[in-house]
């Protein structure tokens, strides 16, 4: 799958992700690192959701979808390094969440000489649809961190998080 780049296949995603983080920092001067990382997480969630919808509807080839998953793994590893050294209250939960995401992607990207279930790619793609809930959750958290939690936008985003959580996190993952 990654033969054209041999051992360097994680360099390009790493540079793209760090470049995205740099652009966010440059356009949001004075923002805390947590807010910058949350904005990057929101972009990751949007892209992951879109890539998986396109793959499930056959608008994205298997190889391109796998390439998107590689970017997701690299993003998650980079975020785990940040989380490990941070003092976030939910650090352990987020590290576990990232670890689980990586664990389900690795068999797709790396030949482990194991037979995957015939529908494994589809199940993984369906599972990643739950990342849609991350978008309003992160945006609400940014408003909360900026002490804008008594605003209509915060309340609307919080409500949207709950509305999306039910079908995408509870129903979808219980189906899988």
Task: Please write the tens of the pLDDT for every residue from 98-154.
Answer: 999 999 999 998 877 889 999 999 999 999 999 999 999 999 999 999 999 999 999
For residue 53, the model assigns a pLDDT of: 97
Average pLDDT, the chain: 91
Percentage of residues of the chain with pLDDT beyond 90? 82
> C-alpha dihedral over 45, 108, 66, 129, to 10 degrees?
-30
CB atoms within 10 A of CB 81: 10
Question: For the whole model, what pTM was predicted?
Answer: 0.90
Tokens of 21: 């983080």
At residue 134, what are phi and psi to the nearest 5 degrees? -65, -30
Report which of 119, 112, 130 is spatially closest to residue 166, judged by C-alpha positions: 130
Report which of 46, 34, 50, 21 is spatially closest to residue 134, judged by C-alpha positions: 46
Are 24 and 41 in contact by the 8 Å Cβ rule? The answer is no
DSSP assignment string, 65-113? HHHHHHHHHHHHHHHHHHHHHS--TTHHHHHHHHHHHHHHHHHHHS--S
pLDDT tens readout for residues 55-105: 999 999 999 999 999 999 999 999 999 999 999 889 999 999 999 999 999
For residue 12, the model assigns a pLDDT of: 84
Distance CA 13, CA 25 (A): 18
Angle, CA 99 vertex, CA 26 and CA 34 arms, to 5° = 25
For residue 5, the model assigns a pLDDT of: 47
Tell me how far the alpha carbon of residue 12 is from its chain's centroid. Answer: 17
Report which of 52, 103, 108 is spatially closest to residue 80, judged by C-alpha positions: 103
pLDDT grade, residue 8 (50/70/90)? low
Distance CA 70, CA 172 (A): 23
pLDDT grade, residue 11 (50/70/90)? confident
Distance CA 21, CA 19 (A): 5
């Amino acid at each position: 799958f990654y033969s054209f780049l041999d051992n360097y296949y994680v360099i390009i995603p790493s540079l793209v992700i760090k470049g995205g983080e740099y652009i966010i920092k440059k356009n949001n001067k004075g923002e805390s690192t947590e807010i910058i990382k949350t904005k990057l997480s929101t972009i990751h969630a949007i892209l992951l959701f879109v890539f998986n919808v396109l793959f499930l509807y056959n608008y994205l080839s298997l190889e391109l979808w796998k390439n998107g998953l590689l970017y997701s793994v690299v993003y998650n590893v980079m975020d785990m390094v940040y989380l490990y050294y941070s003092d976030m209250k939910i650090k352990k939960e987020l590290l576990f969440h990232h670890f689980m995401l990586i664990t389900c992607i690795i068999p797709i990207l790396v030949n482990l000489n194991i037979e995957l279930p015939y529908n494994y790619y589809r199940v993984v793609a369906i599972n990643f649809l739950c990342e849609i809930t991350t978008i309003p959750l992160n945006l609400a958290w940014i408003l909360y961190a900026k002490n804008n939690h008594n605003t209509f936008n915060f309340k609307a985003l919080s409500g949207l998080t709950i509305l999306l959580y039910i079908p995408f996190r509870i129903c979808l993952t219980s189906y899988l």
